[in-house]
Amino acid sequence: MEQLSQLVSELRSAQCVTVLTGSGISAESGIPTFRDVQTGLWARFRPEDLATPHAFHQNPSLVWDWYSWRRDMVLQASPNAGHIALVELEDWLVKRSDSFYLITQNVDGLHQRAGSRQVVELHGSLLRSKCSSEGTVFDDWPKGHGSPPACPQCGAFLRPDVVWFGETLPEQALQTAWKAAQNCDWFFSVGTSSLVEPAASLSSIALQNGATLVEINPAETHLSSRAHFSWRSPAGQALPVLLLALFGDQGKLVP
């Protein structure tokens, strides 16, 4: 990117950085996007038909097996250079006593596995389950296929701890994301089409509050014309370049 030196020069004075990531950064680790995940035995189903409360009520075993398959796929993937670069960016800011928030629309847990600490999961996590009746969250995913396991507290079916179509986002996560967008002086939109609400509005909130907006995405989006810096590249390529320019040979990404 031609403006890289200017970006780095200005970023060095950042005090609060908020990053929003989408499916693009996970796709670089081999995890298909939600729309592309229907392959093999699942090709005859639309994702929307397997990701609603109604679908789970009608056929809980089918929905549970689909999410178990997706979870197995996620566990075989590894964080990529983009995930690791964001860990470095967080470490740099925290060491300076500045603020960093990582908001993700992804449900694969790759940011945490890479080492990120301040992660806000807007859409939940495939690595957790929760009671379909009471909503109690469990930090594991019982093994096996067929009927979903029973909640150990009330006996209702367990379900994935993800946000389905027709459901609202977790209130605490959404409030944290909103505040992070309002209070940051730098906002990064990484690997997202900026179309899915309410996450898509976070960049506008940041802009309205005076933040510098950086977009990193292979394809142009409606956000591109509003960004102060727009980088047409995958996150796994752009973010290491940015960190190398920022840290020189002190970065973990440098051999």
Give 235's contacts (C-beta < 8 A, 6+ positions apart): 21, 24, 25, 28, 80, 82, 85, 190, 191, 216
Model pTM? 0.91
pLDDT digits (tens, 9 = 90+) for 9-49: 999 999 999 999 999 999 999 998 766 655 555 566 777 77
What is 200-255 written as a DSSP string? GGHHHHHHHTT-EEEEE-SS--TTGGG-SEEE-S-HHHHHHHHHHHHHGGGSTT--
Residue 107 · residue 128 · CB < 8 Å: no
- Give the model's pLDDT for residue 35: 61
For this structure, is 123 an active site residue? yes
- Give the model's pLDDT for residue 48: 72
Of the residues 54, 57, 83, 123, only one is catalytic, namely 123
Domains and CATH numbers, the chain: 4-31+80-123+169-250 (3.40.50.1220), 34-76+128-162 (3.30.1600.10)
Sort strands 186-190 and 16-21 into parallel, antiparallel or unpaired.
parallel
State the pLDDT confidence band at 253, using cuts at 50, 70 and 90. Answer: very low
pLDDT digits (tens, 9 = 90+) for 74-90: 999 999 999 999 999 99
